Amino acid sequence: MEPTRPLARAELTDVATRLQGAARILDSKFLDKQEIIRLLIISAVAGEHLVIIGPPGTAKSALIRTFARLVDARYFEYLLTRFTEPNEIFGPVDIKQFREGSFARRTEGMLPEGEIVFLDEVFKSNSAILNSLLTIMNERRLAIGGEVRRVPLISLFGASNEVPNDENLAAIFDRFLLRVVSENLDSYHFHNLVARGIENEVRAFREGDLHPVIRSADLHAIHQSFSGLLGFSEDFLAKYKGLIFQIRSEGISVSDRRVVKLLKLFAASALFDGRSQACDGDFFVLKHIWNHLEQVPLLEEIVNPVVDAYFRENPAERRFLGPQAGLEDLLSELKLIRELLLRQDDLSDIQLFSQLKNLGEIKAALQSIGNETALRMLSEVDQLLETVLASSKLGG
């Protein structure tokens, strides 16, 4: 791997702009996956690993593959099973050298030369593969025969239908700093889901629809620059300490090693937004450090109030509907929510609360835009809220 130099601040700003461009492209193709998209990107920026957990058909693989196409990097992908052999992942044995008495692998196009790696059903692999993956993910090194080779891995992304419950898989699960849940979409997204799905199906037949917007060399260079990005205010660190000890008090294990590594993700999130320092909004990352699915709502209860408070005080920095959050997107969401809230059949309390929360987010986003059209839409939101609050939907 060629050596890289740290990037200057102006270069970091340019890279951040291109990363935001990648997020806009992904957001145009995948509905209501903004947080996962952001996490994918900042994982690569920080050089950390992420696994997406969810049922089939929730865009896990498609998200990772599409992101990989936006990065000019060597890409390796494989679907693992318990029958997968190391030769399929790390490269076949070099027969010529084997006959000469040495062990080597032909790694061209295989995982050891991949910069962005996607392993589907990652927890179904066997111990022979898992042991090598642990060293690759943690140390960026692979032992082949008597040689220990450094690998150019930027990030390894995994996907799985379920969280592993086998103790033998605990170590590989721990290497994924972020664990993200991808669910089926809510009912009020259905129309946009169909429209965007049809558009993506049509695009699937076009060649060259996606082009790289970021180079692997840029990401490697960012990794070289990270020592200059890990500066945090005393206030930020004090809040981080409080959150970590609150999370641990709920029985959610967060090792000291992970506490330190998470700082890289806060810095990567700040860089993605073009900021020089992390802010309280970057604590959203902590919602995705669970060890078991039942811990997800616990983390949200701890983290969301801190993040929401920050964006209430800084509405211009809200991340609603992805980086491109325009009036057209907000209008579309508002229309769907209005139809859902005013239809004849009753909503459950949970559904009603969810939609009212969405209206609150739309209102905050419109306030941050502040032009004439946004103010007119604000009036519509207020009228809708007044109608719903006065209706029998909240009676009982």
**Is 202 part of a structural domain of the chain?**
no
Tokens 């809220």, residue located? 385
Tell me if 93 sits within 8 A of 104, measured CB to CB.
yes
**Is 369 part of a structural domain of the chain?**
yes
**Is 154 part of a structural domain of the chain?**
no
Local structure of residue 140 (DSSP, 8 states):
S
Query: What count of Cα atoms within 13 Å lies in the side-chain half-sphere of residue 265?
Result: 28
Task: Determine the average pLDDT of the residues in 127-151.
Answer: 90
**Is 373 part of a structural domain of the chain?**
yes
Residue 160 pLDDT:
95
Kindly report the pTM of this predicted structure: 0.77
**Is 301 part of a structural domain of the chain?**
no
Tell me if 280 sits within 8 A of 237, measured CB to CB.
no
Task: Determine the average pLDDT of the residues in 344-350.
Answer: 62
**Is 365 part of a structural domain of the chain?**
yes
Tell me if 54 sits within 8 A of 183, measured CB to CB.
yes
Residue 323 pLDDT:
37
Residue 324 pLDDT:
40
- What percent of the chain has pLDDT above 90? 50
How does pLDDT run across 83-137, given as a tens digit for each residue?
999 999 999 887 777 676 677 788 899 999 999 999 999 999 888 899 899 999 9
**Is 362 part of a structural domain of the chain?**
yes
Task: Determine the average pLDDT of the residues in 148-159.
Answer: 96
Is the predicted pLDDT of residue 198 greater than 50, yes or no? no
| Surface-to-core class of residue 305, CB atoms within 10 Å of its CB (0-12 exposed, 13-18 middle, 19+ buried) | exposed
Instruction: Give the residue numbers spanning the domain of 375.
Output: 327-394
Residue 321 pLDDT:
41
At 52, phi and psi to the nearest 5? -105, 125
**Is 336 part of a structural domain of the chain?**
yes
Q: What residues have CB less than 8 Å from 155, skipping those under 6 apart?
A: 43, 44, 47, 48, 49, 50, 116, 117
Alpha carbon 208 to its chain's center: 25
Largest Cα–Cα distance of the chain, in whole Å? 84
Query: Rounded CA gap, 342 and 339, in Å?
Result: 5
- What would the two tokens of residue 283 be? 């604590």
- What would the two tokens of residue 100 be? 């000469």
DSSP of 230-243, one letter per residue?
----HHHHHHHHHH
Query: What count of Cα atoms within 13 Å lies in the side-chain half-sphere of residue 354?
Result: 11
3-state secondary structure (DSSP) of residue 159: strand
Q: What is the 3-state secondary structure (H, E, C) of 4-52?
A: CCCCCHHHHHHHHHHHHHHHHHHHHHCCCCHHHHHHHHHHHHHCCCEEE
Give the range among 46-55, 274-283, 375-384 with minimum mean pLDDT.
Answer: 375-384
Is the predicted pLDDT of residue 188 greater than 70, yes or no? no
Structurally, the chain folds into a number of domains equal to 1
Task: Determine the average pLDDT of the residues in 235-252.
Answer: 97
How does pLDDT run across 356-389, given as a tens digit for each residue?
777 887 887 777 666 777 788 888 888 888 887 7
Residue 392 pLDDT:
47
Task: Determine the average pLDDT of the residues in 144-173.
Answer: 91
